[in-house]
Structure 1
């Protein structure tokens, strides 16, 4: 695989000063800082191609170099390990990436990587605007606080992705490359990432989303006396909790918990108003629907319907 990802025709540095390579990376691939080992003189190499809105980079530092950055801010880094290993530190955990594994760094993720002496990587820099636009064009639900991917992936589980990267590199090095073709490839890469990698994007289409929301509402109405969690609803909708909140905001203008509370209050009001119901007092029905703090329940009820629950019950009995 590695021989097909940027050949020597894309070579910018070979056996060069790591700091010179680092400065070039800062200009074209992403801001970072490097820390060299205290002994030895590592020699770095770098291949690079600009490809539409992407940057393609193949890099090795030739030593146990530590690479750090507060965050990438407006770009994503897709990093495929070709040789050696790389220690990643992030989100309170550590992992040694080995050949065939893929690291996806989000714009707000701090970067802390330590290369082995023989480590070589292939990196794709993607602007966040590309992924945002692809999400909109596909009519997928983009979270309000931005698209976030899980950091660790295995290339063997991403069908067709390795071949796509090889085609992109071949096109980037072609003497007859066409701008429109490059644009098409970048959209395919962005779509593949959003479709294949674990992320907080909901890939339910609008029509499907409506059907999904109807199922959720039906589940809530069928289980109003139960303690319904956001996690249950997200599983039912086949989405992340963040995507679920966005779905409720779009359909109801409130949160899942707010919607459930409103439905419970409506059902309690119907019970208190119905002469045929067996409700004996307000406390009984409130506890039955999970309202343990009766004072707060009364406040919520009055805010929703303009009267206390005791008033509703009294009117039924009069």
Structure 2
């Protein structure tokens, strides 16, 4: 018995014509180049169900194809291979995906892909503004830089596997006529929120350092205020007294609350956030290690390198070399 095709009741198109396929996919995603570059019969299809902040999709091309959309601009795109695999380039991030590794495309970075013959994917398209707003809620404060996911999502274990199972479960429910996505109901909105939380927690990104500690929604107001002040002043030399003043508390009290809820000190938190910025800049690959370190206030390069290696498990020069 043939296995049912995901989201079969929500077919958008099926075509063996390259131009028709390109135009149909572009109506949901964005204009792009699509070329047949390998063997296999070109037999393309897309199934699509729109929710409020995201959409669920199934896409297959049949043949080996190259896809070049440039920057997606308006949405993040999670691609979970159900069969086959693809080579992904998203900005300086370059990796292979298969049934154990999914891709997460950042909208502000140029993308190129090559899908191998027979690749089939479940895709979650998430509105950029909606995901940014969701991140703001998780942080309890403003987002001061673009959310950037760093590399693939491991779907074989941990939170990546949990998110992949959730996507497959939702698609299965939809296929059995029990859809809660796109119906306008509270459960559907909650499912979308859960997907966005899962993505932010499952895939390393430039906010992971803030989110790995105790859940922010139970943190005291003064802790949130201190963290917001720190994030807004990462490129400035600030003192413990200034952080405490911004949070409306005393330095001693602030140190105690950081120790209880973050298992660190306010100044160590400030240092780690600056190191996260350094890493993001090095991954972008536009400037030297020295320039980036100085930008974020690390004037003693020896101590900076040691702190960087302690946090990320490699020297800043190694991160820069991989980005290049």
Shorter chain as denominator, the TM-score bin is 0.5 to 0.7
What is the CA deviation profile of residues 244-294 of structure 1, one whole-angstrom value per residue up to 9, with x for unaligned ones?
9xxxxxxxxxx9639x9xxxxxxxxxxxxxxxxxxxxxxxxxxxxxxxxxx
Larger Rg: 1
Match in the other structure for 2:16: 16
Question: Is residue 172 of structure 2 the alignment partner of residue 166 of structure 1?
Answer: no
The 5-angstrom pairing of residues 184-195 of structure 1 reads 184-195=190-201
What is the CA deviation profile of residues 180-219 of structure 1, one whole-angstrom value per residue up to 9, with x for unaligned ones?
22211111111111222211123363544567789x956x
**What is the CA distance between 1:46 and its match in structure 2?**
2.0
TM-score (norm 2): 0.61
Match in the other structure for 1:112: 112
Secondary structure in 2 aligned to 1:160?
A: helix
Asked if the contact 2:90–2:111 (Cα under 8 Å) also holds between the matched residues in 1, the reply is yes
Asked if the contact 2:87–2:115 (Cα under 8 Å) also holds between the matched residues in 1, the reply is yes
Secondary structure in 2 aligned to 1:179?
A: coil
Change (3 A) 1:154 1:171: same
Change (3 A) 1:139 1:110: same
**What is the CA distance between 1:108 and its match in structure 2?**
1.0
Secondary structure in 2 aligned to 1:73?
A: coil
Match in the other structure for 1:264: none
What is the CA deviation profile of residues 57-116 of structure 1, one whole-angstrom value per residue up to 9, with x for unaligned ones?
111111111000220111101111121121123444642211121111111111110111
TM-score (norm 1): 0.62
Secondary structure in 1 aligned to 2:108?
A: coil
The 5-angstrom pairing of residues 1-318 of structure 1 reads 6-14=6-14, 16-37=16-37, 41-92=41-92, 94-140=94-140, 143-155=143-155, 156-158=157-159, 159-173=161-175, 174=177, 177=180, 178-180=183-185, 181-201=187-207, 202-203=210-211, 205=216, 207-209=222-224, 217=239, 236=272, 240-241=276-277, 257=297
Change (3 A) 1:188 1:239: farther
Match in the other structure for 2:253: none
**What is the CA distance between 1:146 and its match in structure 2?**
1.4
Q: 1:40, 1:16 → 2: CA distance?
A: 12
**What is the CA distance between 1:157 and its match in structure 2?**
3.0
Question: What is the RMSD of the two structures over their aligned residues, measured on CA atoms?
Answer: 3.7
Change (3 A) 1:150 1:62: same
What 5-or-longer segments of structure 2 have no aligned partner? 231-237, 241-266, 281-294, 300-324
Match in the other structure for 1:280: none
**What is the CA distance between 1:144 and its match in structure 2?**
2.3
Change (3 A) 1:237 1:34: closer
Asked if the contact 1:5–1:165 (Cα under 8 Å) also holds between the matched residues in 2, the reply is no
**What is the CA distance between 1:5 and its match in structure 2?**
8.1
Secondary structure in 1 aligned to 2:297?
A: helix
Secondary structure in 2 aligned to 1:117?
A: coil
Secondary structure in 2 aligned to 1:22?
A: helix
Asked if the contact 1:68–1:113 (Cα under 8 Å) also holds between the matched residues in 2, the reply is yes
User: Which deviates the most, 176-185 or 6-15?
Assistant: 6-15
